[in-house]
Amino acid sequence: MNHSATISVRTNRTAVRRLSPLSSLLSPLPSPLLPLSSTFSPLSRPLYLLSSLFYLLLGAPSAHAARIGDISETKLWEQALRFFTFQDPAVRYALAGSMLLGVTCGLLGSFIVVRKMALVGDALSHAVLPGVALGFLWNMSKDPVAIFIGATVAGLLGTAVVSLIKQTTRLKEDTALGLVLASFFAVGICLVTMIQRLPTGNKSGIDKFLFGQAAAISEGDVRLMAVVTVLAIATIVLGYKEFLVTSFDAVFARAVGFPVQVIHYTLMLLLAFAVVIALQAVGVVLVSAMLITPAAAAYLLTDRMSRMLWLAALFGMVAGAVGAFLSFLGNNLPTGPFMVLGATAVFGLAFLFGPRHGVVAKWWRQRSVTQRTQRENTLKAVYHVLEGREFKGEGVSLRELAERRRETVEEAAREADSLRHHAQATLAEDGNLIVLTPDGWQRACAIVRNHRLWELYLTHEAQIAADHVHEDAEKIEHVLGEETVRELERRLKYATRDPHGRAIPGLADLRRGAGTEHRDPVVGYGRGS
Amino acid sequence: MTDAPPLEIHDLTVAYHKKPVLWGIDLVVPRGKLVGIVGPNGAGKSSLIKAAMGLLPLSSGWVKVFGEPVAKNFRRVGYVPQRESVDWDFPVSVMDVVLMGRYGRLGLLRRPGKADRDIARECLEKVKMLPYASRQISNLSGGQQQRVFLARALAQESDLYFMDEPFAGVDAATETAIIALLHELKDKGKTLMVVHHDLPTARNYFDMLLLLNMRVVAFGPTEQVFNYETLQQTYGGRLTILSEVAEAVRAKG
């Protein structure tokens, strides 16, 4: 079935003309805006869906160029240049507004996250919708001030209802939040739908409040956003200490005489303001993500509240700018989802690559510990082989190591190579003979000593049977610090034999090992000589 | 004002959700004493110190700190809450937490200055935690966390201290260090009210004991109060009638 041919007739010719070569290949795909008409058989639906997705990802930016007549740039970087140099006022307001709201949301969101109030932000943001609608109805226009007041009042009413439910019933906060979130949102949707059916309502753009549209930000909106941002920054700078102590330990803050309730409601009020200014660009549905996501990313990257605030503000700003830009590229697609995706990308990076708490860093640390443990086990095996022949003879052959560790010679060779790589051994006789370096010898002695000391400690002090202690010591030997070892030695009165009667390597062995490579063959190493 | 007792409580009743947890508490604590508050679980030990600090609504009675309502005397009261009462993953350093001890004296909107930092550092030194000053608090052991809370209370430079189970879950070394510090504070004329859950050590640690089980069973010098009879009264089942009534009051309300 050749549906692409049928569709291309309906495709905008201007768009095709201005497309870059890559996109022009894809341009004859059906636009998702076209109705799923009867010309498609049920079988072609998945194909349609797939091609629509392609269209969204690649075709949409080009379609934008086709729609707005005065834009001739079609390359991404040209559009970016045009966007970020503020060539037209609408873009200027959209970008400035998005960045301002990002900063405010990031700052206040940080406190929401550390206070474990993320759901409160979510409930608050949904609860403002009826207020937005009522603010619009006030004088049937998108008056920023009326909407701001309506939304703030609705948001605060929502939080008040949450407190009321919590205090008067047995229901807990999460349930109360869920109730308020859903019911207020439902009322809001009803009102918005009604407004859209009014004769003047259709052009109102009130539906933009659901998913956000940065392009709809007016000069008045930006002014309001700037006022709220300045207010939020000033309050946090002045009251940093108060916000910090009430977030960390509210009871203590009350005990030193701080008006904890007032501080809490100040924060809630600022939060309501932040949500309301973000509505226009992010939309009711996703605004809580702008509170939580940048702050959560910042939380993963730092251990200090002040740094967290800086980072969250920065991430919020970047997410705001990215969202506004992508929305602009996609011919005024809803801004909210793109901002949230931008913030989520930052969070994803912090989650994966954070230096301390990141998944990759953790994995890397885990891996290096595993490798070190493995090397130490090899060293221990080498020691055991040497011990088995009373420290006579030159080095340990791969075969001996393999036998000792019950593995193949290839595996033994790999382990020997790892030792050589870390300068703990040199390989002689074509890599068949492992000779420990002073470093390697010391580490081998230390590991064997740790193992035997720990076994002795467990049997003596903890009264554990001698045949129960080996497994435990296998793990402990790799983690005992020098200080603990000294303490163990003291407690065990510098014992020289482990519970199985084998010698515990002492300081003398460590020193003697220093000359392993050129040692006197008669003396050998080990305590026996 | 110097003559007024550090803590005077008269006919204090405290209720949670209409269920009384403390009944008719009368108490006058003299200056310069180390007082242990002892009693079974649910005896209202934490509630008593919270009520004394004005953190709980009182059903009846009053509390005076150095002769005045506690709301006027916040600066003379120091507090060590239970260790589990805060989130130790919170993004603050040890130093930040100890500085919070200065917040009460600074009042609202003023920032801690160099003098406050110096005091905080001294307090950290006293609990042997100065080397950890810039650590994030989640990297501390239980005993170290308790020391940080203690340092914060020291930074409050108060005259009357309330401590909620400062010995709970700490290592032996920390316990010894804390008790030495408490004695040092007492010798400087401070008054300390310490909630304690371990009877055997209570006898050795404190000058005075307050045996509590929803009401004051006994209060006085340790050697007088710590005997079989009073302990039996505190921990034995003799107060069941009181808790039954409490339950009835709650059901009615």
CATH number for position A185: 1.10.3470.10
Strands B160-164 and B191-195, bridge-based pairing: parallel
More confident residue, A524 or A350: A350
* Distance, CA of A129 to CA of A152 (rounded, Å): 10
Pick from A58, A74, A90: which residue ends a domain? A74
Residues A96 and A8 in one domain: no
Question: Considering CB atoms only, which of B74, B90, B91 is closest to A256?
Answer: B74
Short-list A31, A1, A36, CA closest to A16: A31
Contacts by B197-205 with C-beta closer than 8 Å and gap 24+?
B197/B38, B197/B165, B197/B167, B197/B168, B198/B167, B199/B38, B199/B231, B201/B167, B202/B36, B202/B38, B202/B226, B205/B34, B205/B36, B205/B179
Q: How far is CA A418 from the centre of its chain?
A: 34
Closest among B124, B100, B120, B127 to B181, alpha carbons compared: B127
Q: What does the DSSP 8-state code read for residue B91?
A: S
Residues A107 and A247 in one domain: yes
Q: Measure B111 CA to nearest chain A CA, in Å.
A: 7
**Domain match, A328 and A477 both:** no
What percentage of chain B exceeds 90 in pLDDT? 62
Segment A94-118, tens digit of pLDDT:
889 999 999 999 999 999 999 998 8
pLDDT one-digit tens code per residue, A367-416 = 999 999 999 999 988 888 888 887 777 788 888 888 888 888 888 888 88
Give the model's pLDDT for residue A26.
39
In a shared domain, residues A421 and A317: no
Q: Rounded to 5 degrees, what are φ and ψ at A102?
A: -60, -45
ipTM of the prediction: 0.91
Band of pLDDT at residue A436, cut at 50, 70 and 90: confident
Q: Count interface pairs A-B at CB distance under 8 A.
A: 81
pLDDT in tens, A446-499: 888 888 888 888 888 778 887 778 888 888 888 888 888 888 888 888 878 887
Q: Determine what percent of chain B is predicted with pLDDT higher than 70.
A: 92
- The proportion of chain A whose per-residue pLDDT surpasses 70, expressed as a percent, equals 80
Q: What is the pLDDT of residues B129-180, one digit of tens each?
A: 999 999 999 989 889 999 999 999 999 999 999 999 999 888 888 899 899 9
Residue A236 pLDDT class (50, 70, 90 cuts):
very high
- Residue B212: name the closest of B244, B243, B235 by CA: B235
What string of H, E and C letters represents the secondary structure of A75-102? Answer: CHHHHHHHHHCCCCHHHHHHHHHHHHHH
Which segment of A70-79, A113-122, B77-86 scores lowest on mean pLDDT? A70-79
The pLDDT confidence band at residue A53, using thresholds 50, 70 and 90, is low
Q: CA A496 to CA A483: how far, in whole Å?
A: 18
Q: In angstroms, what separates the C-alpha of B145 from chain A's closest C-alpha?
A: 14
Q: What is the mean pLDDT of residues A230-238?
A: 96
Q: Who among B71, B81, B111 is closest to A252 (CB)?
A: B81
Which one has a higher pLDDT value, A508 or A185? A185
Q: What is the mean pLDDT of residues B65-91?
A: 92
Report d(CA B134, CA A55) in Å as an integer: 53
pLDDT at B249 over 70: no
- CATH number of the domain that A460 lies in? 1.10.10.10
Which of A74, A103, A136 is the C-terminal boundary of a domain? A74
* Segment (H or E) for B37: strand B34-38
List the structure tokens of A354: 């954070």
The pLDDT of A340-347, averaged and rounded, is 92
Number of domains in chain A: 3
Position A507 scores a pLDDT of 67
Does residue A435 contact residue A394 with C-beta atoms inside 8 Å?
Answer: yes
Q: How far is B48 from chain A (nearest CA, A)?
A: 14
Residue of B nearest to A307 (CA): B91
Average pLDDT, chain A: 80
Same domain, A314 and A427: no
- Domain boundary (A357, A384, A404) is at A357
Name the DSSP letter for residue A505: P
Out of A77-86, A177-186, A284-293, A299-308, pick the least confident: A77-86
Q: CATH for B7-85+159-252?
A: 3.40.50.300
Instruction: Compare all CA atoms of chain B with the CA of A262 and give the residue at the minimum distance.
Output: B108
Q: B interface toward A at CB cutoff 8 Å?
A: 50, 53-55, 71, 74-75, 77, 79, 81, 85-87, 90-93, 96-97, 100, 103-104, 106, 108-109, 111-112, 136, 138, 152, 156
Round to whole Å and give the CA distance between A120 and A173: 9
Fill in the DSSP letter of residue A499. Answer: T
Lowest mean pLDDT among A477-486, B52-61, B108-117, B238-247: B238-247
CB A228 within 8 A of CB A107: no
pLDDT at B130: 93
Q: What is the pLDDT of residue A498?
A: 80
Q: Is B57 helix (H, G, I), strand (E, B) or coil?
A: coil
Asked if residue A42 has pLDDT above 60, the reply is no
Q: Which residues of B touch A308 (CB under 8 A)?
A: 91
Is A257 within 8 Å of B97 when comparing Cβ atoms?
A: no
Residue-number span of the structural domain to which A12 is assigned: 3-74
> Is the CB of B92 less than 8 angstroms away from the CB of A299?
no
Q: What pLDDT was estimated at residue B132?
A: 93
Stretch (H or E) spanning B211: strand B208-212
pLDDT of residue A465: 80
CA A120/CA A163 separation, integer angstroms: 11
- pLDDT tens per residue, range B213-230: 888 989 999 888 888 778
- Please report, for residues A136, A239, A288, A301, A342, the alpha-carbon distance to residue A349 in angstroms, rounded to integers and kept in the order given: 40, 31, 20, 10, 11
Average pLDDT for A330-345: 86
